[in-house]
Structure 1
Amino acid sequence: MSEQFVADVGGTNIRLARIAADGLANIKKYICRDYASIDLVIQQYFDELPEYQFSGGCLAIACPVTGDHVAMTNHSWAFSQQALRLQLKLKDLYVINDFTAVAYSLPVLHDNQVVQIGEGTAKENGNIAVFGPGTGLGVEHITMTASGWQTLDGEGGHVDFAPIDETDILVWRYLQKKHGRASAEEVMSGRGIVNIYNALSEHRSTPTKFNNPAEITAAALSGECDTCEATLTQFCRIMGSFAGNIALNMATTGGIFIGGGIANRFTDFIQQSDFRARFEAKGIMKHYVKSIPTYLIAEPDHGLLGAAAFLKQHIVSSTK
């Protein structure tokens, strides 16, 4: 019987899984630098599962996917989609951006795979959005169409940062002076945490003891540093305002999700923060966003799940 596989390809690791009747199976992780090319590691995965014959797959990869040639941003791997499909003897091979896969995972996540922040109830098949503070700020939208779920790509992480309160204005001024422009990514990312910390330290005339987001976050959560705690507090507020703006723009009645590699490190802090208050603080449109739920993605395999959802939808549609 022919099988399908999925892969979540980052700059450091590649994780592969087989699609089984009840979800993902045979999940394995490999170190990218141990392999000269992507076909070698995928073939090794196939060789380790000789009882299965793979005929299709989907790769979710951390780089732009705009044509047949794919070149990773933070790793040396580059390949032709068509040549890779032939090398691996596959009937179907899809290559999508990793954040596209994140978006496709959202409709299939269950309650135990997310953490809800505040109130709100998702509407079935309502528009959904996800943003992910990490190295940068990824933003993706997904909407239901006559042919199934469809992502709406864009560069939402690079929109203007819109300050709401006096502390936001301090940060905005710091970024204007430093870069000549304040974008959302410069406050909602790893370096965004550092930017907020530096702006508050400058305003308070206190020395900067930390220079990376992990140290600032740890010092905030331990109560070791007041400025670090204020930084994380403002980070959560800014995320809330940004999420509320997406909700207004896209009528995201299916919910707003937070992914990325940062926010799920301090889930409890976000729950107790002003995130949801800022999400709902939309003046006369407060009623519009109040019923929209907001979630943190707690499922570590959501990239693989999204690639599987994409593959299932597209293979089914191609056989009709």
Structure 2
Amino acid sequence: MVSSEHTPIIDGFAVVADIGGTNARFGRINLETFELDRIQVFPCADYLNLTDAMIAYREQQDVPLEHVAIAIACPAESDSIQMTNHHWQFSVQGTKRALGLKSFIVLNDFAAAAMSLVTLDKKEQKKIGGGHKHDDAPKAVLGAGTGLGVGHLITLPNGDVMPLPGEGGHADWAPLNEKEWAIYEFLSHRFEGRVSAERVLSGPGLENLYQAIAAYHDRPVPPLRAKTIGARALSGCDAIAVEAVEQFFASLGSFAGNLALTLNTRGGVYIGGGVVPKLLPMMANSEFRARFEQKGRFCNLAESIPCYVITAEHAGMRGVAQYLKQRLQHRAQRKQTA
């Protein structure tokens, strides 16, 4: 979690954005009501850098760029930002100067996803399996998209919330049965000896699973995009696609359960990203929850922790807006007590 400066009190509107490896989503937020409008999505590949995309948003939406807060899919702990799954890189202060911004906040995308959890209502989260959440307990959030993002959210003694960004998606993937060891061997040859969770639990990860499972069954298949694999699995017309999605959910359950144990996330484990919501019809009957709870001596703890799929639109932008809102509230409180 990092900002380029102390955020001043500002009136009117700000621009918020959720920058992923594939798309950059921009919106305007009302700083009194915190309602989003002027939402526009730009393919990252269409722009040389973030500055060009921000200028395009300003021109196409006729929205001034003064106060900007963005969530981005990479570590955001210094002035130098380098995206993990895209070529964009920039200086926070350099971008602020180049665009003449009055303030510019940069937040890791899963720190923003964690912040979004406090904005969700019951209709925007679908519970998977059992468990009961404790609202003030730590929460975990993960999301499969272009990559695999991970974050946590903790509640502070004063009632504020603090996101804990991380790079848990790049932890090692652990196979648990014969077929998974075969998948691991296939992928370890492809990725020079190391298989991270992201190589399995992401859009490209689903593509990897499709190829690895086809090889396991000695059935050559053409490379397919994740969108096509998902559609074939949902229709039931492709047995390898069905098995790939089933394997995806089994491994996702194991990974999510590991996150739950890591920080005792009795506040729940929340799943976002672009992949899972599209495959939701197959999740309930998958091994996801069984693998989530399959934690040996700590299965009782895992069983007590609930899981939710985030179905809200633009959760990342809402999260970075919530972070901005909390910063502004702190600033106002300091001014009142000064």
TM-score range, shorter chain: 0.7 to 0.9
Q: Distance in 1 between matches of 2:60 and 2:35?
A: 14
* Aligned residue identity for 2:17: A
Contact 1:132-1:138 within 8 A present in 2 as well = yes
How far off is 1:185 after superposition? 1.2
How far off is 1:43 after superposition? 4.6
How far off is 1:292 after superposition? 0.9
Contact 2:114-2:152 within 8 A present in 1 as well = yes
Which is worse superposed, 93-102 or 69-78? Answer: 69-78
Name the structure 2 match of 1:228.
241
Contact 1:69-1:78 within 8 A present in 2 as well = yes
- Give yes or no for the alignment of 1:153 onto 2:165: yes
Q: Aligned match of 1:3 in 12, 36, 43?
A: 12
Q: Distance in 2 between matches of 1:276 and 1:312?
A: 35
- Misfit runs of 4+, over 6 Å: none
Name the structure 1 match of 2:104.
93
Q: Distance in 2 between matches of 1:254 and 1:45?
A: 40
Which is worse superposed, 60-69 or 35-44? Answer: 35-44
Name the structure 2 match of 1:294.
307
* Secondary structure of the structure 1 residue equivalent to 2:27: strand
- Give yes or no for the alignment of 1:312 onto 2:330: no
Q: 1:244-291 deviations in whole A, cap 9, x for unaligned?
A: 111011101111111111111111111221111111111221110112
Distance 1:290 1:182, change over 3 A: same
Q: Distance in 1 between matches of 2:196 and 2:73?
A: 22
Q: How does 1:165-184 map to 2 (within 5 A)?
A: 165-178=177-190, 179-184=192-197
Distance 1:76 1:282, change over 3 A: closer
Contact 1:126-1:253 within 8 A present in 2 as well = yes
- Give yes or no for the alignment of 1:102 onto 2:113: yes
Distance 1:269 1:39, change over 3 A: closer
Q: Distance in 2 between matches of 1:39 and 1:136?
A: 23
Name the structure 1 match of 2:153.
142
Distance 1:39 1:136, change over 3 A: closer
How far off is 1:161 after superposition? 1.1
How far off is 1:311 after superposition? 0.5
With normalisation by structure 1, the TM-score equals 0.87
Name the structure 2 match of 1:128.
139
Q: Structure 2 unaligned runs (5+)? A: 1-9
- Give the number of equivalent residue pairs: 315
Q: 1:72-119 deviations in whole A, cap 9, x for unaligned?
A: 5636573543762795563x4322122221111012211111111112
How far off is 1:189 after superposition? 1.4
CA RMSD of aligned residues (A): 2.7
Q: 1:155-182 deviations in whole A, cap 9, x for unaligned?
A: 2111111122332222122223333122
Q: How does 1:16-165 map to 2 (within 5 A)?
A: 16-19=27-30, 21-29=32-40, 31=42, 33=46, 37=52, 40-41=55-56, 43-44=58-59, 47-48=62-63, 56-70=67-81, 74=86, 78-81=90-93, 84=96, 87-88=99-100, 90=102, 92-146=103-157, 148-165=160-177
* Secondary structure of the structure 2 residue equivalent to 1:272: coil
Name the structure 2 match of 1:238.
251
* Aligned residue identity for 1:261: G
Distance 1:188 1:22, change over 3 A: same
Distance 1:83 1:268, change over 3 A: closer
Q: 1:194-237 deviations in whole A, cap 9, x for unaligned?
A: 22222221121112134322222222111111121111111100
Distance 1:27 1:180, change over 3 A: same
Q: Aligned match of 1:193 in 206, 209, 221?
A: 206
Q: Aligned match of 1:271 in 276, 280, 284?
A: 284
